[in-house]
Amino acid sequence: MFRLPKPEQDLVLLSAHRGSWEVYPENSAYALQDAWNSQIETVEVDARFTADKEVILSHDYRIERESTGTGFLYNQNYSQVHQADLRDRHGRVFVDSQGRKAKFLTFSAALDLLAQYVTDDGHGYVMIVDVKGAVDDRDSTDPIELMQRCLDILAARKNPQLSKAVVFKLKAKDAVDIGTFLNRTTYDPNVIGGLIIVENPDDQNVKDSNYDPHQDTIYDQWNVAPFPVQFEMNQFYKGDGLQAYLDYVDQKQGFATYHESNYYPEGVANSAGKCCFEHSTDPKSIAHGGMVPDYRGEPEMAIVNRTNLITTDWPDVVADMLRQLGRRNTSKLSR
């Protein structure tokens, strides 16, 4: 996953965004297990703090869309959040074939699930943990503290194979710089599966097709990190300012990208989860200041560049496209 991709690379890894949430409630035990059972090698989940510092999986900081609960996640203890039942993507309360409802999953419980898919030789399936930061002035979440809490929970398992199957994902602005990151966390690249840094330059630079990555101090620093890093860059269109990064001759780290779905009800994603209750992708939406549609929803954009990993809501569709291009040679995967 973390090697510098080559033009002739014939294996691009796939990650099911929030699990198989076309069918099951996102970030739920059902969604994670279905993705792994379908032989999607990776799932990406979203980690947030509750008011009492329990780490749970939730993309949104409000829980109305995802569940029967209401209000801000950071204002509620886990015991309150646990009372809510999860909804599917169409807003229906999920009930399985045995009449059971889905609940918000703790990070600890997600590790229990992942452990079932990790083999003794260290090969197997992977979970990418998208560490979510504060969303407003009332939210005291420190993403570095949240990541460290996850590292502590993982270390307490004393399971080296499990630790290598967990990858953490942080925004570059949350990771700050390498020195601060390493001083404030116990992250060890020899123990943990890896680190993904989301590094998208500001809008003006993305629009400037002549932008030089050497001018980007954050990117330049992480590019020469003394341990493997994967950059996630979400290109909007072929030839935009991110093309210079993807073609960067001095590139030393791997690349990932995210192909998101623009279809209602999830809309256009952002770290605050506002996409899910304030958006312009629903033709019936009357949300004030709805967000502009994001053309990263086109699967082709996710596969045209030399990426190692594609996170997508449609892993089956993207897998078929990659196979047709000769870039999905899964015989190289060891499970």
- Structural domain boundaries of the chain? 13-332
Predicted confidence at residue 284, as pLDDT, reads 46
Q: What pLDDT band is residue 6 in, cutting at 50, 70 and 90?
A: confident
The stretch 143-171 carries a mean pLDDT of: 96
Q: Which of 63, 15, 4 is nearest to 40 (CA)?
A: 15
Domain 13-332 grouped into CATH 3.20.20.190 = yes
Predicted confidence at residue 248, as pLDDT, reads 76
Average pLDDT over the chain, rounded to an integer = 84
Residue with tokens 């009372």: 83
Q: What pLDDT band is residue 288 in, cutting at 50, 70 and 90?
A: very low
Percentage of the chain exceeding pLDDT 70: 81
More confident residue, 325 or 152: 152
**How buried is 135 (Cβ within 10 angstroms: 0-12 exposed, 13-18 middle, 19+ buried)?**
buried
